[in-house]
Amino acid sequence: MPEVTETQLPGVGVRHEFTTAKGDRLSVLVFRTGRREVAVYDREDPDAAAMVLHLDEDDARTLTDLLGGNPVTEAVAGMQQIEGVVLDWIPVSAGSSLAGSSIGDGQIRTRTGASVVAIVRTDTTIPAPDPTEVLLPGDTVVAVGTPEGLRAMRQLLSG
Amino acid sequence: MSVLASGGAEVAEAFVEIGTIVLVLSVLARLATWLRITAIPLFLIGGLVVGEGQLVPLDVSGEYIALTGEIGVLLLLLTLGLEYSAEELQTGLRTGAGTGLIDALANFTPGFAIGLLLGWEVTAALLLGGVSWVSSSGVAAKVLSDLSRLGNRETPSILNLLVIEDLAMAAYLPIVAALVAGTDATTTVKNVTIALVVVVLILALALRYGRHLSSALAGATDESLLLGVFGVTLLVGGLAQRMQVSAAIGAFLVGIALAGPVQQRASALLGPLRDLFAAVFFFYFAFAIDPADLMRFLLPALALAVLTVPGKLLVGWVGARRIGVAVPGRIRAGTALIARGEFSIVIAALGATLADGPDLAALAAGYVLLTVVIGPMAARVDARRLAARLSPRPQPAPT
């Protein structure tokens, strides 16, 4: 994966920038309002955006879907803003004691303090899963909590 | 109540006058959209024209309009304070202080000097320095988004400079406000000291505990948040005014103190209210200017523009070079900063009570009108071709 550099734009939002495999500079500007701008930089004047695509939130979601991104990424990205709260993606290994049990039965929230906000299973995503949802080996759990809580959950799920 | 009791012929008169003005402002705003410029210069021209021709003699509504304009200043500064979060201000201060200093030297000095050359009192000259110092963040934002330059690499340096200027205003405005209010040397020194202490105190509290104010307001409905922020702004503004720290600064600090989601909601909610009141403020500011004064100060305004346009080009150049941007980007950064606007008018309005106040207002209006036209036009210049002409070989960005 190319290295993505992040630049804060005061009063506007955040710009993420990277170079594609073919050598084009590309940036995605995420506005505070949720609007997005995708810019491709000029090869001769690398500081200037040669082409800019203005996307509202719906457009951005459509484009993400078409590019094969995961809708959860975006839905939970906003949470990373909250102080002290961290978001993490944790794979469920076959050896975990929780593989095969439901979220509720595993008492994940009670034992770790962190919450499961989504389960990513091969191509599908289960957002906001019920406590009865069963975790399968190979699933990836999207969890939110304190750094300690997420460490505890990682330990539980790796078995 | 007079409105309900139909008794007020005076109220009827005031409604007609205010209604006419606001309608004129609406047409001007529409015209600005059509011309693809910000509305401020048109509001100023509108005020000048109406004031001269006495098309709408503000016999009855003068007081209301004046108060509306005052509230406009508070809301204007509140939203200027709301523009940046505390973290952005802190980062800006860490990374951009050097460029900010060059900015102050290159753009404050010409205004101050011209004020002195015109034989004005020192306070009025200090205010003119402020007028020529601060770029219009409104025009810069409009230029950047109109020309699709927000994604450009030089853009962070432009925005960082605007942040620094915002912070610099937090120190500058209370000092000049205290100077304006002071009658003799002793009270002036006392006022300035009080003002600075109050501002530093509020700023420190805002940066450290601002989130408590924000979280106290966070649960509010839109209605309650709107009223709450508006109320806090007027209250803090009034208290600041009582302590000889201009009300505008109080409002500005409230804006800086609000953070996080509340900050964004508040700017969205107060935006329309700001637009209404601030439009009246710009109009009323120009309304009070004698067009003859404007013509009289056209030459000094032009001189000031000639001196300070290069000042901003220099600052843009230095700031963009610092983050490794090549020559065309440095030129673009400078041109985006040329226009002066809302802050400059507010600063000039602070001097309304001075003996040289009317002259200051006339010069400032002329100067803002000039730069607000020159800036966006300069921003459309092909920076790449200009850069190629400046140096025969393409210059790589330093790393």
pLDDT at position B53 over 70:
no
Task: Name which of B173, B158, B161 is nearest B77 in CA terms.
Answer: B173
pLDDT at position B230 over 50:
yes
Q: How far apart are CA B78 and CA B251, in angstroms?
A: 5
Backbone phi and psi for residue B262, each to the nearest 5 degrees, phi listed first: -60, -40
Asked whether the beta carbons of residue B163 and residue A48 sit closer than 8 angstroms, the reply is: no
Q: Output the pLDDT for position B119.
A: 95
CB-CB neighbors (< 8 A) of A46 in chain B: 153, 326, 397
| Length of chain A measured in residues | 159
Asked whether the beta carbons of residue B154 and residue A49 sit closer than 8 angstroms, the reply is: no
Residues A43/A26, Cβ–Cβ less than 8 Å: no
| Closest by Cβ to B153, choosing from A10, A47, A54 | A47
Q: Does A26 touch chain B (CB under 8 A)?
A: no
CA distance B223 to chain A (A): 20
Q: Output the pLDDT for position B96.
A: 84
- pLDDT-based confidence at residue A127 (cuts at 50, 70, 90): confident
CA distance A135 to chain B (A): 34
| Closest by Cβ to B84, choosing from A7, A10, A29 | A10
- pLDDT-based confidence at residue B1 (cuts at 50, 70, 90): very low
- pLDDT-based confidence at residue B328 (cuts at 50, 70, 90): very high
Q: Output the pLDDT for position A81.
A: 55
Best residue in B80, B135, B153 for a mutation probing chain A (most A CBs within 10 Å): B153
Interface pTM, i.e. ipTM: 0.75
- pLDDT-based confidence at residue B336 (cuts at 50, 70, 90): very high
pLDDT at position A78 over 70:
no
CA distance A33 to chain B (A): 8
pLDDT at position B2 over 70:
no
Euclidean distance between the first and final Cα of chain B, in Å? 70
Best residue in A29, A47, A82 for a mutation probing chain B (most B CBs within 10 Å): A47
Q: Does A140 touch chain B (CB under 8 A)?
A: no
Q: Does A6 touch chain B (CB under 8 A)?
A: no
Task: Name which of B76, B68, B73, B70 is nearest B14 in CA terms.
Answer: B68
pLDDT at position B192 over 90:
no
| Local structure of A5: helix, strand or coil | strand
Mean pLDDT, range B44-73, rounded to an integer: 77
Percent of chain B whose predicted confidence (pLDDT) is above 90: 43
Asked whether the beta carbons of residue B148 and residue A12 sit closer than 8 angstroms, the reply is: no
pLDDT at position B261 over 60:
yes
Q: How far apart are CA B332 and CA B144, in angstroms?
A: 10
> Which range among A93-102, B92-101, B115-124 has the greatest average pLDDT?
B115-124
Q: How far apart are CA B25 and CA B44, in angstroms?
A: 10
| Length of chain B measured in residues | 399
Q: How far apart are CA B244 and CA B350, in angstroms?
A: 12
CA-to-CA dists, residue B270 to B18, B28, B32, B211, B370, angstroms? 21, 21, 21, 19, 29
Q: Does B335 touch chain A (CB under 8 A)?
A: no
CA-to-CA dists, residue B39 to A6, B137, B138, B275, B276, angstroms? 34, 14, 10, 10, 12
CB-CB neighbors (< 8 A) of B326 in chain A: 45-47
pLDDT at position B173 over 80:
yes
Q: How far apart are CA B360 and CA B216, in angstroms?
A: 41
Q: A102-111, B17-26, B274-283: lowest mean pLDDT where?
A: A102-111
Q: How far apart are CA A43 and CA A73, in angstroms?
A: 31
How many interface pairs between A and B have CB atoms less than 8 angstroms apart? 75
Asked whether the beta carbons of residue A45 and residue B328 sit closer than 8 angstroms, the reply is: yes
Residues B75/B233, Cβ–Cβ less than 8 Å: yes
Asked whether the beta carbons of residue B88 and residue A10 sit closer than 8 angstroms, the reply is: yes
In this structure, how many other beta carbons lie within 10 angstroms of the beta carbon of residue A101?
Answer: 14
Residue B134 one-letter amino acid: V
- The 3 state secondary structure assigned to A32-74 is CCCCEEEEEECCCCCCCEEEEEEECHHHHHHHHHHCCCCHHHH
| Closest by Cβ to B150, choosing from A12, A41, A47 | A12
